[in-house]
Structure 1
């Protein structure tokens, strides 16, 4: 019987899920590195929250197969060494989003009404009513930096306080921003116009230190900066210097800089202009319950069914899942990207038919990872893909299949975009008996039966006689040979030509083809 160590304080639902599946569970929270390394031998599973799973711990784990982080970030886990030791790492994205959003609003209320200082004053026996005049949130301008899942939740809650909402996100569309009631602005405009700025951006190479002295200098008189995301998105020295120079600006933060595990004495020096909490964003009963349930389900499914829900590293593929289905999600995502003109998706829907539906969580991770790689040139782990997609304002829908359609083991992916104009694409694919990636349908073209490979050219146009000859002639004029071609029509009189060539089609030849056949859509891609 596999054994699972829960090395953190976690809602008992995780233990109940695991023991209910016949697994042996031991709960031992609060272990330091040495104690965890001494404890871990003999356990197949390990569940943690912010606890550190270091190289030393992993090296001591003689039976460990999986680590589940009850939360999103895995910076406390040595994922690279876990991968080297063939240990699957998973997380539970999205479980904490609402708790973080509520904390951001709590910070605004606490800072504007000076609640921490007032509370301390009363407890000290003072009655300083006249000196504790505060401000209302009604009518104030809230600038939200990062309009993903958490930022959107903050916007929804702030509307209840009748705040005016402005926001910055480099990838969100005007229509998506409008849906959540936010007017898009540049970062500079937000720092100049907002009474409150709330940060909800992930930490990566692009965002590390993105808020520095120049932006801070633009803050309005009496502004409040709220950070429930990552401390390192704000340049530390610039922030400290600025707060010393501008005694009118306030800071509310739940996050501190690397190494400041006991807070930051330099920040504490600004006194009651600081409202600080010790990384409590996810510390609610409800978030703990959601994270515990997801962690328990993830560990149970891995150890009992060899199913992976939200992988952080690329290891375990269930034995009843053909590994090329993971490649298929990326291929369909590529074609979908070009089909909607490269627009940022507003919604992604995935439907898995037959036995494939039991792996929909894993396939969704790989689909979204592929889309994030394509759209944002940001290589992320599959386990972070769903939360990252939601951070970018993408709604993710896992649909219930209708297996009476007889599609066998296949998947359909629908992508909707509303950036400039409404666009939608729907693509279905499968794996052949020979293990090849096959596209069955593209939008209204129901019998594509395409096995893409190498250099591919797609053209969509009104059907007419001679189209293939015109395309072939244009390719031949450039010394390009056709290796394979699929041509099909729909009920509306449109046609699609999917052509594999022996080399890349140059821009001049591509333009010649477009001039010859007048497609309403065309693109090239490399498979």
Structure 2
């Protein structure tokens, strides 16, 4: 007599995916429905999603909180590619849905596209092709430049940027790189000269961007930055739209300060119109960076393997919102993972100078837990404000690739007012930044120390961090500014090292804090720094 049959888990594939990837799902005993038309039809996708346990996507399908509300069975989303900006990751996390990506499957392809765009830009190949095929033999019109001995400036020297740098060196270019996480040792290893952003702008003949789009990198090539570039510079963007102020770039092209630009990505996509379109010295492609047969196959096979392992065995690989944790330890460890990630994120958002290392100290009961997962969570939090695709699984490897030193210490004995305390320190080139936290009995992570100053605060989605001298009048002026701006303060926490010494304010707010309000807070007498941090 046999037991009841188990209903196979079902996977929906809502974007085009390799047939070999579909075969992996089916060979593992999963029901896989390939319906790529749903990626462009959000209403049809919402109507269908409720019947599936897994969802495999590329870049077309948009995963919103509203869509997730229609997916009660969904436990895993697999993105074939590195970027997950088409997925509402916080909403997925809140619903217990794991979001996986494939961070390395298309790195070579994207790097090669950047090099191809650079070569096409240098020799005006698209313009010359159009002219020749139109019957005009304009041999003297297209006078390009030779790349040998030119200076290539790489903004962002992670996995893709390092490959571009290597190819640039192969073209006998001088390669300089700006990356806050690139250590001098790693720079020597890959053969580039590490410089700050201003020096890169001043020296580079060609600038290529390979950073994610974050609050810190948005418009990294602003009008002001473009004005500091070398006259005749050429700019290549195969990373993310929004890294370059497109209107400012058009003005610089019209003025002749920028000799040319090659863009594969745009601030609004699909880009049916753009301020750069139509300029004779601009080359555009429709987000083809990862579009080769090899890359499409690699990321498709990788995401199918990862999702199948998760649905059948509970394994978690390359998750952007959860670390590798066994089923037995997950309930106890989960709030400490959240604490470690938020402490790291807090310090990462405050850090602007290049990071040299990250130290995590575990004190009390937490020292006997899975500190590897907790370390990865803290590192991921610290790096995520700068680097796209960093997750709790890949964080320590990303740090290693950039030469960042990650140190951990444990102390099982007491010495604190709390049973368990995590101390996180981010070592930057200008100064170290540190914070500590614990988990209360109700499972709520709390921050209990900032810059060695004791205070106690729960994390909120948006908070204000203010460092000031402990002088009378700050609280009143702060409250007045917030009230005048219509920003409600949900919680307000203060700490100081001594009367009249250094003080810290950490406040949760219900409304967005505008740049103007932040500037006015910083203008309060004795305020040394004010920052918005988000969790």
TM-score normalised over the length of structure 1: 0.66
In structure 2, the partner of 1:275 is 283
Structure 2 contact 323–392 (Cα < 8 Å) conserved: no
Task: Name 1:63's counterpart in structure 2.
Answer: 73
Aligned to 1:512: none
Select which of 142, 157, 177 maps to 1:132. Answer: 142
Aligned to 1:297: 305
Alignment partner of 1:30: what SS?
helix
Query: What secondary structure is seen at the aligned counterpart in 2 of 1:267?
Result: coil
What's the CA shift for 1:305?
A: 0.5
Distance 1:366 1:92 in 2: 22
* 2:106 is equivalent to residue 96 of structure 1: yes
Preserved contact between residue 237 and residue 264 of structure 2 (Cα < 8 Å): yes
1:400-419 equivalence runs, <5 A:
417=405
Find the partner of 2:15 among 5, 8, 17.
8
The match for 2:57 is 48
Query: How far, CA to CA, are the matches of 1:386 and 1:282 in structure 2?
Result: 23
Q: 1:237 to 1:114 in 2, by over 3 A?
A: closer
For residues 57 and 281 of structure 1, the distance between their equivalents in structure 2, rounded to whole angstroms, comes to 28
CA distance in 1, matches of 2:302, 2:83: 15
Q: Once the 2 structures are TM-superposed, how far is the Cα of residue 239 of structure 1 from its aligned partner?
A: 2.2
Q: Using the TM superposition, give the Cα deviation of residue 30 of structure 1 relative to its aligned residue in structure 2, in angstroms.
A: 2.9
Residues 181 and 355 in structure 2, CA contact (< 8 A), matched pair in contact too: no
For the residue of structure 2 that corresponds to 1:162, the secondary structure is: coil
Residue 262 of structure 1: how far off its partner (Å): 2.5
Matched-pair contact (CA < 8 Å) for 2:340–2:422: no
Deviation at 1:390, TM superposition (A): 6.3
**Retained in 1: the 8 A contact 2:323–2:393?**
no
Q: Is the 8 A contact 1:86 1:315 kept in 2?
A: no
Residue ranges of structure 2 left out of the alignment (5+ in a row): 1-7, 348-353, 359-369, 424-494, 499-535
1:382-401 to 2 correspondence within 5 Å?
384-385=391-392, 394-395=400-401
How far apart, CA to CA, are the structure 1 residues paired with 2:261 and 2:11? 41
Which residue in the other structure is 2:27 paired with? 20
TM-superposition CA deviations, 1:70-109 (whole Å, max 9, x none): 1122221223333343322222222221111111111111
1:310 shift after superposition? 2.2
Distance 1:143 1:256, change over 3 A: same
Distance in 1, matches of 2:26 and 2:412, equals: 41
In structure 1, how many angstroms separate the alpha carbons of the residues matched to 2:88 and 2:421? 36
Q: 1:201 to 1:38 in 2, by over 3 A?
A: same
Structure-to-structure mapping, 1:165-204, within 5 angstroms: 165-204=175-214
Q: Answer yes or no: is 1:112 the counterpart of 2:118.
A: no
Contact between 2:375 and 2:408, CA under 8 Å: does it hold in 1? no
> How is 1:314-329 mapped onto 2 (pairs within 5 angstroms)?
314=322, 318-324=326-332, 327=336
| Alignment correspondent of 1:245 | 255
Q: Is the 8 A contact 2:103 2:389 kept in 1?
A: no
- Cα distance change of structure 1 residues 126 and 368 upon mapping to structure 2, 3 Å threshold: farther
What whole-Å deviation, never above 9, does each CA across 1:105-157 have from its counterpart, x for those lacking one?
11111111111112222222222222222222111100111111111111111
Query: Could you say which structure has the larger radius of gyration?
Result: 1
Gaps of 5+ in 1: 347-359, 397-414, 418-423, 430-436, 440-450, 457-503, 508-527
Matches within 5 A, 1:506-521: none
SS of corresponding position for 1:256: coil
- Helix, strand or coil: the match of 2:356? coil
Separation (CA, whole Å) in 1 of partners of 2:99 and 2:386: 17
- Alpha-carbon RMSD across the aligned residues, in angstroms, is 3.9
SS in 2 for 1:266: coil
With over 3 angstroms needed to count, the CA separation of the structure-2 counterparts of 1:112 and 1:57, relative to structure 1, is same
Task: Decide whether the 8 Å contact of 1:345 with 1:394 is kept in 2.
Answer: no
Cα distance between partner residues in 2 of 1:56 and 1:42: 16
CA contact (8 A) 1:4 1:43 kept: yes
* Compared CA separation, residues 438 and 125, structure 1 to 2 (3 A): farther
Shift of 1:194: 0.9
Deviates more, 1:145-154 or 1:315-324: 315-324
Q: Distance in 2 between matches of 1:90 and 1:287?
A: 17
Give the structure 2 partner of residue 205 of structure 1.
Answer: 215
Point out the more displaced range, 210-219 or 51-60: 51-60
Return closer, same or farther for 1:320/1:301 CA change in 2, 3 Å cut-off: farther
Select which of 144, 149, 154 maps to 1:144.
154
The structure 1 residue matched to 2:376, chosen from 368, 392, 403, is 368
In 2, the alpha carbon distance for the partners of 1:416 and 1:201 equals 18
